[in-house]
Amino acid sequence: MRVAALYDIHGNVPALDAVLADVETAGVDLIVFGGDVAAGPMPAETIERMRALGGRCVMGNADRMMVEDFDAASDPADTDNVMLRAMRWAAARLDRPQRDYLAGFEPTVTVEIDGLGPTLFCHGSPRSDTEKLTRITGEDRLEPILEGVTEPVVVCGHTHQQFDRAVLGRRILNAGSVGMPYEGDAAAFWLLLGPDAELRRTTYDVPAAAEVMRATGMPDVDEVILRESLLEPADPDWVTNFFETG
């Protein structure tokens, strides 16, 4: 089994399309979508591409929140919080089948991968879709997070930064972010697994993609999605420390 892990797309369809072209060339048997797929400027279009492809889907915190906002019919105008407003805007652009698709995502997924063995896919951590694992998370914090996990390989996301670490007798990888990376580099990031693990980077026309995403009318799209990840990428070491201490 050869697997592509695509995490944190955040409704960036131009980035997703570019990555999917590379995935096709790589010849994978399965795509695992690692959560936070649709919370962004092109939510319905992202979901339709995923539904057409099939694969396995891990629930991210933003996916869960979008389902809640859809069910509550939350009005974007009812909040001054730019992140909540954007989330509600995205949820309002789904239809019922798309909402139900998101609601069917799994908390975690385990796949037997050639050369790696049983591999656990989660969003934040094996126990929480909001827990942040970073490039510098210490063993003292990792030990209780990994308690009860039997798989030798764990793949996570949520912090939008790739890493590949050997710690506590396991290999822990972050697939990075397809649509909203914090790598200090304007590109799309994903993970190829089998027979080893390869952190992958896919280039695409970011300025053109930004115009496409602005044209959707998503409120505060530059602030919420584009600026610090793709237009003026934040320093990745600062981001790592922010996530680790925040």
Residues 61/129, Cβ–Cβ less than 8 Å: yes
Alpha-carbon distance of 177 to 223, in angstroms, equals 17
Tell me the per-residue pLDDT of 13-26, one tens digit each, with 9 for 90 and over. Answer: 999 999 999 999 99
Three-state DSSP at 218 gives coil
Three-state DSSP at 75 gives coil
pLDDT of 161 higher than 80: yes
Strands (E) in 71-187, as ranges, are 109-113, 117-121, 153-156, 163-167, 170-174
Alpha-carbon distance of 189 to 95, in angstroms, equals 28
Distances (CA, A) of 66 to 89, 146, 218: 9, 28, 15
pLDDT band at 78; cut points 50, 70, 90: confident
Task: For the chain, give every domain's residue range.
Answer: 3-245
Tell me the per-residue pLDDT of 200-214, one tens digit each, with 9 for 90 and over. Answer: 999 999 999 999 999
pTM reported for the whole predicted model: 0.96
User: At CB < 8 A and 24+ separation, what contacts does 47-52 make?
Assistant: 47/94, 47/98, 47/101, 47/102, 48/98, 49/13, 49/16, 49/17, 49/20, 50/101, 51/101
CATH number for the segment(s) 3-245: 3.60.21.10
Tell me the per-residue pLDDT of 94-111, one tens digit each, with 9 for 90 and over. Answer: 999 999 999 999 999 999
Structure tokens at 187: 């590109």
